[in-house]
C-alpha cells in the first residue's frame, strides 16, 4: 500500500496538466465508530421482547470464561489527495478482517483481511482522465443522481462512499465466516451492529457490540433505567426498529461502573440474531462479554466499551493500512514529477 497511488503517479505524472493540484501533508480521516452507526444523534423505536415485558435490569450472573473465539472489525481511512480542475479526489482505504483466539489465548489472523483502496470522485467530471488508467475509481454519485458541483458536497459524498465500502467489506467477511463455521460451536464477536447474511441461518453464532449510543430507542423513563444499570446487569431484550436490515435481538449491558463518569461509561448495546436461542443465552452471552473485559484495552480512549480482542483486530488492520508518511512520499514524488 498504496499501489494505487503509485500507479496513478506513474501514469499521469508525465501529463503536464496545470489543472492537477496535488495536496500534500493533509491528515488522514479515520472512521473509528462502526459504520452502521448514524453520524448524528437520533431516536428510534423498539419492541421489548423480554419475557417480563420490561426493560428493567436483569443480573446476568458471575462471568467465567468467554465463548467467543473469533473477532471481526473494520476500518477506513480517507484523505484528499488532489484537485483536478477544482474537483476534489479522495483517496480511500477500507478493510475488514477476523482474528481468532487460539487455545494459548493468543490472537492470530484468520486469513487475510479484505481490503480495498480507491480514488473517490464524481466520475462524470473526471472520466476522461482516469478512463485508460488501470486503477480503482469509485463514483461518489449514485446512478442517475448528480450532486451539486460543490467541492464540500463532493467530499461529504466521498466520505459516505468510503464508509459504504467498509460496511460492505465487513458484511462480506462476516458472511464468509458464517458460511465457514455454520454448524460449529465457534462464536464470532463483531465490532458494532451485526451485518452480513446472518438472517439466512436459523441460529448463527454471531454477536455484535455497539459502543456508540447515537440512537436512543426508549423514552426517557426507560432510558433512565438503562443508564442506571450496574456492572453485571443487562436491560430487557428488545428489537430495535427503523433499520433497513433484518431484525436482531438487542440489550444493554454495563461492563464498568460509571460512578464519577459519563452515564454511558461502560455501557454497550449488544446485538444477536433474532432467534429463540438468543433468548435462552442472553445472560450467558452477557457473561462472556463481561469476561472479555480483561485484559483492559488501555490505552484506547474507549477502553470502557472496547473489548480487547476487538482492539487487537483494529490494531492488526491499522498495521496494514497505508501510513501518512508513505502517502506523503508518493504524493511528493507525484508533485515533483509534475513540476
Partner 1 sequence: MINEPHTSASNESTFFAKTTEITDRQIGRVIATKDKPNTAYEFYFWTSCDDASVGIGTLVVAASPKTRAYGVVVEGFSFTDLESPLHEYIGLNGDPRMEAQTSRPEVRCYKAAVLRVEPEEPLQPVPVAPVYLADDVGVAKALRMDSFQYTTGIPVGLYQNGDELSPVYIDSEFLLGPEAAHLNVTGVSGLATKTSAIEFILLSIFEHFKEDIAVVCFNVKGSDLLFLDYPAEENMLDERDRKMHSLLGVPCEPFRNVKYFAPFKPDRVNLNTLRTNPELVQSVTPLSWGLNEVLEFTEVVLNRDDIDAKADALIEFIRQRVINQTTEVNGQQITVRNFQDLNRWFDLVMRDMEENNKSEWKTHHYATIRKVHNRLSNLSTRYKGLISPDEFVSDLPWGRFEDRTVYVVDVANLEPQAQDLVFTRIVSELRHHLETGKLGVKHVIVVVDELNKYAPADGPDTYLRQTLLDISERGRYLGLVLFSAQQFRSQVHKRIVGNSGTCIYGRMDMDELATPGYQVLTSATKEKLATLPKGQLMIRHPHFTQPIFVKFPRPNIMRGPDGIRRYPPAEDLPLDEAVWLNLSRLDPSISRNEVRDIVAETSDQDEIIRAMNLTLQRVPQDPVAAFRSAIRKKAGVLSPEEKPSIAIKDAGSDGSDPFETI
Provide the binding-site residues for partner 1, judged by CB under 8 A: 65-66, 101, 104-107, 291-296, 298-299, 308-309, 312, 315
**Angle (CA) 82 93 98, round 5°:** 175
Which residues have a Cβ under 8 Å from the Cβ of 66 and sit 6 or more positions away?
288, 289, 291, 292
Q: How far is the CB of 93 from partner 1 (least distance, A)?
A: 22
Q: How far is the CB of 127 from partner 1 (least distance, A)?
A: 35
Rounded Cα–Cα distance for residues 192 and 37 (Å): 8
User: Taking each helix axis from N to C terminus, what angle separates 3-12 and 324-338, rounded to the nearest 10 degrees?
Assistant: 0
Q: How far is the CB of 165 from partner 1 (least distance, A)?
A: 28
* 6: Cα separation from own chain's centroid: 27
Exposure of 47 by Cβ count < 10 A (0-12 exposed, 13-18 middle, 19+ buried)?
exposed
Asked if the bond preceding 9 is cis, omega within 30° of 0, the reply is: no
Q: How far is the CB of 202 from partner 1 (least distance, A)?
A: 28
Q: How far is the CB of 316 from partner 1 (least distance, A)?
A: 10
- Identity of the residue, 44 or 294, whose beta carbon is nearer to partner 1 in the bound complex: 294
Q: How far is the CB of 297 from partner 1 (least distance, A)?
A: 9
- Identity of the residue, 195 or 297, whose beta carbon is nearer to partner 1 in the bound complex: 297
Backbone angles phi, psi at 338, to 5 degrees: -90, -20
- Identity of the residue, 227 or 315, whose beta carbon is nearer to partner 1 in the bound complex: 315
Asked if the bond preceding 295 is cis, omega within 30° of 0, the reply is: yes
Q: How far is the CB of 12 from partner 1 (least distance, A)?
A: 25
Asked if the bond preceding 2 is cis, omega within 30° of 0, the reply is: yes
Rounded Cα–Cα distance for residues 96 and 309 (Å): 14
Which residues have a Cβ under 8 Å from the Cβ of 312 and sit 6 or more positions away?
71, 99, 107
Which residues have a Cβ under 8 Å from the Cβ of 62 and sit 6 or more positions away?
232, 287
- Identity of the residue, 146 or 231, whose beta carbon is nearer to partner 1 in the bound complex: 231
- Identity of the residue, 106 or 160, whose beta carbon is nearer to partner 1 in the bound complex: 106
Amino acid at each position: 500500500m498504496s499501489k494505487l497511488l503509485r500507479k496513478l503517479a506513474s501514469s499521469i505524472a508525465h501529463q503536464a496538466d496545470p489543472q492537477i493540484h496535488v495536496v500534500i501533508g493533509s491528515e488522514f480521516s479515520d472512521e473509528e465508530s462502526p459504520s452502521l452507526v448514524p453520524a448524528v444523534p437520533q431516536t428510534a423505536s423498539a419492541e421489548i421482547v423480554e419475557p417480563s415485558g420490561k426493560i428493567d435490569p436483569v443480573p446476568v450472573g458471575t462471568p467465567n470464561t468467554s465463548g467467543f473465539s473469533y473477532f471481526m472489525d473494520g476500518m477506513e481511512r480517507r484523505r484528499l489527495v488532489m484537485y483536478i480542475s477544482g474537483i476534489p479526489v479522495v483517496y480511500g482505504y477500507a478493510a475488514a478482517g477476523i482474528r481468532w483466539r487460539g487455545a494459548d489465548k493468543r490472537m492470530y489472523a484468520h486469513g487475510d483481511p479484505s481490503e480495498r483502496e480507491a480514488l473517490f470522485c464524481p466520475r462524470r467530471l473526471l472520466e476522461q482522465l482516469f478512463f485508460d488508467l488501470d486503477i480503482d475509481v469509485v463514483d461518489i454519485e449514485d446512478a442517475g443522481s448528480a450532486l451539486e458541483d460543490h467541492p464540500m458536497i463532493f467530499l461529504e459524498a466521498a466520505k459516505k462512499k468510503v464508509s459504504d465500502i467498509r460496511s460492505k467489506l465487513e458484511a462480506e467477511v462476516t458472511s464468509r465466516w458464517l458460511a465457514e463455521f455454520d454448524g460449529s460451536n465457534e462464536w464470532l464477536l463483531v465490532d458494532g451492529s451485526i451485518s452480513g447474511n446472518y438472517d439466512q441461518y436459523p441460529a448463527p453464532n454471531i454477536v455484535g457490540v455497539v459502543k456508540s449510543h447515537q440512537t436512543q430507542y426508549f423514552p426517557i423513563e426507560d432510558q433512565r433505567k438503562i443508564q442506571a444499570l450496574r456492572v453485571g446487569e443487562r436491560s430487557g431484550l428488545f428489537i430495535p426498529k427503523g433499520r433497513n436490515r433484518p431484525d436482531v435481538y438487542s440489550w444493554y449491558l454495563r461492563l464498568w461502573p460509571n460512578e464519577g463518569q459519563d452515564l454511558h461509561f461502560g455501557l454497550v448495546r449488544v446485538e444477536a440474531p433474532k432467534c429463540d436461542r438468543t433468548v435462552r443465552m442472553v445472560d450467558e452471552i452477557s457473561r462472556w462479554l463481561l469476561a472479555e473485559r480483561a485484559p483492559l484495552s488501555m490505552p484506547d480512549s474507549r477502553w470502557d466499551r472496547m473489548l480487547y480482542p476487538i482492539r487487537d483486530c483494529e490494531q492488526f488492520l491499522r498495521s496494514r493500512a497505508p501510513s501518512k508518511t508513505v502517502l506523503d512520499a508518493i504524493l511528493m514524488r507525484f508533485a515533483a514529477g509534475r513540476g
